[in-house]
Amino acid sequence: MNRTAQASGRIPAQPGPREARIAESARQERGVGVQDVSDVVTESQEPGAVIPGAGPSSRPGERATVRLRETGPEEPPRYAPEWLELREPADADARAHDLLDPLRIRLANLPGKAGLVIHDLGCGTGSMGRWLAPRLDGAQHWILHDRDPYLLHFAAVASPRSAADGSRVTVETRRGDVARLTPDALLGASLVTASALLDVLTREEIETLAAACTGAGCPALLTLSVAGRVELTPSHPMDAEIAEAFNAHQRRDGLLGPDSVTVACEAFSERGATVRLHPSAWRLGPAESQLTAQWLRGWVGAAVEQRPDLAARAERYLQDRLAACEAGDLNVVVHHSDLLALSRPTGSAA
Ligand SMILES: C[S@@+](CC[C@H](N)C(=O)[O-])C[C@H]1O[C@@H](n2cnc3c(N)ncnc32)[C@H](O)[C@@H]1O
């Protein structure tokens, strides 16, 4: 699917039948490219229910907020738009502004004046574009990639409209597997971005991505990859055990989890790119308690999926942590890294 959209709108916090109808009519009015969203099943929300897709796993027996049609064993995990919406402000606060100036300098030196072409890989509901487009000058065309047509739909509807200098921003969506990207697919690209993607890829997939970017001479801004370190204040004797089990869960089935940034640095550097890293931690206090609570459920749930022997103690730990969170007595730092890889230009970039 490659359709151009000029659209803006809000992501429904909890898409239900009404929102789906509104989104559908907005789509028809705007000609936004949306693929099949008929596989979405909604259920009523219970307070405190975990959001499936909010973390690497949901816990058995928990009621869905929005349940996506059952995925088979071969199907990849799907992310809930509510979760992506909930984390968007913390992501925006965490993103490394220090990487923007070197990026702007590179983009300003590109040959041609036709405007920027930016590929956002694993775009989800499009939070990267909403953050970055208004921070870059000049006309921009964003190509939003994801394998989930439901998320692409939200990304197109809520896409940014104008650049820092008021220039036009347009968007198209592409459904597909970003792990198979080739340099050809990036022909004419000015920039590749991704956010919260690297840690769910394998070594081979990151190498493919680095080869595509460096082969096309295209810079890459790859943000918010988990670093595998969290700090909870006040501390609890089980923090380290849960963190270790969670990190092991992230590394399951060849996924890189907290090793992804190191692997990406190596993959880009070996291919001649200059790589810069910057920390981009979430800093969650009482004002972010809703996000913290969802993050805790996903974090502890994944740890228990990895180590079922922790279940009983982890449940008590989770209840303690949720109570502290609700009382405004918990602060959490979730460490991430942002990476800017400046490939050697090949002359093929826009
Ligand atoms: C954690 S979400 C992040 C979404 C968004 N970038 C953000 O920061 O809010 C990861 C996204 O990557 C997509 N994704 C993961 N692996 C992918 C793949 N191999 N090909 C295409 N999309 C993928 C998922 O569907 C999901 O939308």
3-state secondary structure of 341: strand
Separation of alpha carbons 201 and 182, rounded Å:
16
Q: Which domain holds residue 16?
A: 3-228+256-281+336-342
**β-strand 140-146 against 169-175: which pairing, if any?**
parallel
Please tell me if the CB atom of residue 163 comes closer than 6 angstroms to any atom of ligand 1. Answer: no
The closest-lying atom of ligand 1 relative to the alpha carbon of residue 194 is 6
The answer to whether residue 65 sits within a structural domain is: yes
pLDDT attached to residue 110 = 87
Please tell me if the CB atom of residue 197 comes closer than 6 angstroms to any atom of ligand 1. Answer: yes
**Nearest residue (CA) to ligand 1, atom 8:** 195
Tell me if 257 sits within 8 A of 250, measured CB to CB.
Answer: yes
pLDDT attached to residue 51 = 54
pLDDT attached to residue 269 = 98
The answer to whether residue 286 sits within a structural domain is: no
Distance of CA 309 from the midpoint of ligand 1 (Å): 30
Output the tens digit of pLDDT for each of the chain's 350 residues: 333 333 333 333 323 222 333 344 444 433 333 333 323 323 333 445 555 445 433 333 332 233 344 445 567 778 999 999 999 999 999 999 999 999 999 999 888 768 999 999 999 999 999 999 999 999 999 999 999 999 999 999 999 999 999 999 999 999 999 988 999 999 999 999 999 999 999 999 999 999 999 999 999 999 999 999 999 999 999 999 999 999 999 999 999 999 999 999 999 999 999 999 999 999 999 999 999 999 999 999 999 999 999 999 999 999 999 999 999 999 999 999 999 999 988 854 44
**Nearest residue (CA) to ligand 1, atom 4:** 124
Domains of the chain: total: 1
Distance of CA 325 from the midpoint of ligand 1 (Å): 28
Full-model pTM? 0.83
CB atoms within 10 A of CB 286: 13
The answer to whether residue 350 sits within a structural domain is: no
**Nearest residue (CA) to ligand 1, atom 24:** 122
The answer to whether residue 233 sits within a structural domain is: no
Please tell me if the CB atom of residue 81 comes closer than 6 angstroms to any atom of ligand 1. Answer: no
The answer to whether residue 23 sits within a structural domain is: yes
Distance of CA 136 from the midpoint of ligand 1 (Å): 23
Phi, psi of 22 (to 5 degrees): -60, -45
The answer to whether residue 43 sits within a structural domain is: yes
Burial 6-36 (b: 16+ CB within 10 A, else e): ebbbebbebbeeeebeebeebbeebebbbee
The answer to whether residue 40 sits within a structural domain is: yes
Please tell me if the CB atom of residue 259 comes closer than 6 angstroms to any atom of ligand 1. Answer: no
The answer to whether residue 298 sits within a structural domain is: no
CATH number reported for the structural domain that contains residue 53 in this entry = 3.40.50.150
Separation of alpha carbons 54 and 72, rounded Å:
19
Please tell me if the CB atom of residue 154 comes closer than 6 angstroms to any atom of ligand 1. Answer: no
